[in-house]
A = this chain, B = another copy of it.
């Protein structure tokens, strides 16, 4: 285990791990003042950045360093998927204590490298510095054919609401993680989804390309927090059918509905589809379940239909300022 005592050595380590990556459109990567990327003709550039902080987003004694690496990039790339875009490269900013620049940093870089390969999203640059706790910030640069990004603001009353995959599973994984002592391992699907979430890039791209989604976003803070954001951007409301929503839940837990409504960290896509396109959509995409959960309404309320009774859906997802 080598402790790296200066910034250039730390950058060299990063460079070595990413040295054999397919650089794609990156013309100049690590090693200059800034990275140079050639945008493709007819495409718009998509930009997002995401915090991943020790103590808030991961626990040093529970989350394996390679899961920290994987997840920090995956969740940032998920924002790119939310627009129907494709990631093209990323910047890594990491602040960490000297004693984490050895084994922990190697594990982190290995997970980051795996996610980078999986997403076909090479490292273009970044910044490293020292800090007491580990702080990670990832910027992902993506691209989408000009004018074809699926925004949050396009939903119209009558559009049908869908989500990809399972909801509440990652939150269940977090519960398992917190119950068991020591470093977590992906011993079941819930833990796997919590530790190594997969951004829904291919699905988002397909929904955009085929013009199937009228509005879309990735869900990071839970349906009950994210759906109001999509509705506010579109100037609409929505109702969600509890029974339908339960179909997205794989848990046999008694509170499956609560998990599906409020569970954060899912990185599934929430999207609206015109009624005439629902059949074209189908019920799965490349093995990934697509579940019809409700409808967009003109009345600007977010309602939950439980056994025929409508009640207001209260936001209960993850908000760092609310939980504090």
Contact = CB atoms under 8 A, between A and B. Distances in A.
A49 B137 contact: yes
Interface residues of A, number: 72
B47 A91 contact: yes
Contact of A51 (B9, B28, B95): B95
Contact of A321 (B7, B37, B141, B319): B7
A53 interface: yes
Interface in A73-112: 79-80, 82-83, 85, 89, 91, 93, 95, 98, 101
A143 B51 CA distance: 25
A217 B37 CA distance: 18
B129 A53 contact: yes
A83 to B, nearest CB: 5
A50 interface: yes
Contacts of A41: 41
A153 B29 CA distance: 12
Contact of A34 (B80, B127, B132): B80
Contacts of A49: 49, 91, 93, 125-127, 137, 139
Interface string A1-14: 00011111110000
Contacts of A4: 321
Contacts of A43: 39
The residue among A48, A139, A322 with the most chain B CB atoms within 10 A of its own CB is A139
Contacts of A89: 47
A174 interface: no
Contacts of A95: 51, 53, 56, 135
B320 A129 contact: yes
Q: Please give the count of copies of this chain that the complex contains.
A: 2
A44 interface: yes
A33 B141 contact: no
Interface string A107-137: 0000000000000000011110111110101
Contacts of A321: 4-7, 9-10, 98, 101, 130
A324 B79 contact: no
A31 interface: yes
A265 B70 CA distance: 33
A33 B91 contact: no
Contacts of A34: 46-48, 79-80, 82-83, 85, 140, 142
Interface stretch (A144-152, A250-258, A296-304): A144-152
A74 to B, nearest CB: 14
B129 A83 contact: no
B32 A139 contact: no
A218 interface: yes
A157 B253 CA distance: 71
Contacts of A320: 7, 129-130
B125 A32 contact: no
A179 interface: no
A308 B41 CA distance: 55
Contact of A33 (B7, B45, B48): B48
